[in-house]
Structure 1
Amino acid sequence: MNETPKVAVVTGATQGLGLALVEGLAQRLSPADTVYLTGRDAGRVQEAVEAAPAGGAQIRGEVFDVADPDAAGRFAGLLRERHGGVDIVFGNAVMRVGPDDDPRDVIEPYTQVNNFGTTRLLRAFAPLVRDGGSLIVVASSLGTLNQLAPVLHRRFDGLTTLEEVDEQVAAWRDAVADGSARAGAWPGFVNIPSKIGQVAAVRALAAQRRADDLARGILVAAVCPGMINTPTSALWWDVSEAATPAQAAVPLLDLALEPVKPEQYGELVRHGQVVPWSPRYHQS
């Protein structure tokens, strides 16, 4: 009996790491498989698809704006009709901030993409992942409680639903917007609470699905690709010796395509190793 063709989805895929993930998946999968290269701008999506190397799986472009509250549900429904399910999902869509951006001015669109976009993706696509598949959110090693003042740990620790995560992210967003976060213990760099919210979302979903997913060989995880040499990262750090997007994509692709390791399920993974969630973390 012929194997069902695989279907992969990468969000935020018109450049950088997302594009490298699409190209890496296409190279590793077969010509019968499909990799969806998605982004919010139709022109950039089409340009990226046309420039992609030939060979391997079919690369198919699709407009998908994760900031649109209804887009994830629509796209998931479309893929269910076309393919019946999906095998690999990389949530990589991100709105970046620069050193000169005022967090109060950007926090609304920032959280709509990075945080609420993540929880919408998880809600919509988790039911579609087939046996042996993976649902991975690209986050950061900044996304751990170790990066947050202890008084704030309770905001994100032990959350068990995506709705609870959304509530905490919304409370933080509102505090940034009205300026009260500056007077509290919140870090000034909005990337830290945002990444923590992403990892908390993965952990909340995983808490609900762990037993069934592991029985079916499904991985739900967050992943840290490490420092990447991109123009945006260069605004903040010296990335001259950092990995290229193609290099950074390799361990992420390995994670998605190799058999699931139970100790990685629901965790933040960097180069195959679990990054501790909190100071008291002990891997079971």
Structure 2
Amino acid sequence: MNASRIALVTGANQGLGRALAEGLAARMSPDDLVLLTGRNRQRVADAAAEVAHLPGTRSRVQGRVLDVTETDAVEALAGELRRQYGGVDVVLSNAVARVLPEESQAARADEFIDVSNTATHAILRSFGPVLRPGGRLLVVASSLGTLGHLDARLHHLFDGASLEQVEYAVESWRSAVHHRTAEEAGWPRWLNVPSKVAQVAAVRAVAAERRAGDLADGTLIASVCPGMVDTATSRPWFGDYSQAQSPSEAARAVLDLVFAEDVDPALYGELVRFGKALPWYDGTPPVEQDRILTP
């Protein structure tokens, strides 16, 4: 990577995103810059100040307000970083919408899809082109993101799809939810499953187009599964979270990918959990009465 590096974390006010920002700030150099982003100006400012003053922090830390659901704002920030710094070295796309078990999944569909999917597409489309050689662009997903978790009738929408085709599939799913035809078409009731599959498919689409060039210059684009994490977003879904990792523990494996000296071609474009790629075709569709976790 470059001597002076620029890193950006979305959804970094709290939980895993905050832990990722802390880990980057601790492992990067004094000339490097970590941009901690979120939607709420005060929370962003407070979190950035706290991370900047942690005993282990080595790099510079700045807060930036960024609503990842605003595609124009994502594009504008990517352009600003290209003009000011020549690009960016690390992008960790982590923002997630919080949904409680007692809430209607259909009623929250737009917000959930906008934060998890529309934003992922915008991050990939805007920050992929400004990622400097040797950079890292990682999208936080989950083990539910393998294709086998979807009904077989839906596989063709995501398997080998381009980014534009993934976007179309996501909007078709959104429309089916609104028109109450989703379940008969094979979409699971739980938003997390198609959302995560679509995130991983989007990463695979962009990676497929860039693979040769990225591997030649040591750049990594991948989706990551941090494992079960005890956060405010995930805790309501766990019957037993005694085995869950703290955010700082979960951040380690993700940060190890960021700071790996070489890029393993077997991980490029894949869904990576604890340093290993999860097979794209694995998984089984969920039983609808079960709670769906986000490990």
TM-score, normalised via structure 1 length:
0.95
Aligned to 1:115: 117
Aligned to 1:82: 84
Aligned to 2:266: 263
Describe how 1:244-255 pairs up with structure 2 within 5 A: 244-255=246-257
Q: Report the 3-state secondary structure (helix = DSSP H, G, I; strand = E; otherwise coil) of the residue aligned with 2:137.
A: strand
Report if aligned partners of 1:230, 1:239 keep a CA contact under 8 Å in 2.
Answer: no
- Measured in 1, the distance between the counterparts of 2:178 and 2:241 equals 30
- Measured in 1, the distance between the counterparts of 2:94 and 2:128 equals 15
TM-superposed CA distance for 1:194, in Å, is: 0.2
User: Out of 273, 278, 282, which is 2:281 matched to?
Assistant: 278
- Cα gap change, 1:171 to 1:10, in 2 (>3 Å): same
- Measured in 2, the distance between the counterparts of 1:182 and 1:146 equals 17
Match status 1:33 vs 2:36: no
Aligned to 1:170: 171
- Measured in 1, the distance between the counterparts of 2:241 and 2:83 equals 42
Which shows bigger deviation, 191-200 or 104-113? 104-113
Q: Report the 3-state secondary structure (helix = DSSP H, G, I; strand = E; otherwise coil) of the residue aligned with 1:235.
A: helix
Q: Report the 3-state secondary structure (helix = DSSP H, G, I; strand = E; otherwise coil) of the residue aligned with 1:35.
A: strand
Report if aligned partners of 2:145, 2:197 keep a CA contact under 8 Å in 1.
Answer: yes
Describe how 1:208-227 pairs up with structure 2 within 5 A: 208-227=209-228
Which contiguous aligned blocks of 4+ residues in structure 1 show a shift greater than 6 angstroms?
none
Report if aligned partners of 1:233, 1:239 keep a CA contact under 8 Å in 2.
Answer: no
- Measured in 1, the distance between the counterparts of 2:98 and 2:206 equals 25
Aligned to 1:6: 5
Aligned to 1:190: 191
Report if aligned partners of 2:15, 2:232 keep a CA contact under 8 Å in 1.
Answer: no
Report if aligned partners of 1:103, 1:176 keep a CA contact under 8 Å in 2.
Answer: no
Aligned to 1:151: 153
- Measured in 1, the distance between the counterparts of 2:58 and 2:208 equals 35
Report if aligned partners of 2:140, 2:226 keep a CA contact under 8 Å in 1.
Answer: yes
Report if aligned partners of 1:88, 1:135 keep a CA contact under 8 Å in 2.
Answer: yes
- Measured in 2, the distance between the counterparts of 1:137 and 1:206 equals 12
TM-superposed CA distance for 1:104, in Å, is: 2.1
TM-superposed CA distance for 1:144, in Å, is: 0.7
Report if aligned partners of 2:16, 2:231 keep a CA contact under 8 Å in 1.
Answer: no
The one-letter amino acid of 1:35's match is: V
- Measured in 1, the distance between the counterparts of 2:95 and 2:231 equals 15
Q: Report the 3-state secondary structure (helix = DSSP H, G, I; strand = E; otherwise coil) of the residue aligned with 1:179.
A: coil
- Measured in 2, the distance between the counterparts of 1:211 and 1:228 equals 34
TM-superposed CA distance for 1:80, in Å, is: 1.1
TM-score, normalised via structure 2 length:
0.91
- Measured in 2, the distance between the counterparts of 1:242 and 1:31 equals 33
The one-letter amino acid of 1:186's match is: W
How many pairs align?
277
Q: Report the 3-state secondary structure (helix = DSSP H, G, I; strand = E; otherwise coil) of the residue aligned with 2:128.
A: helix
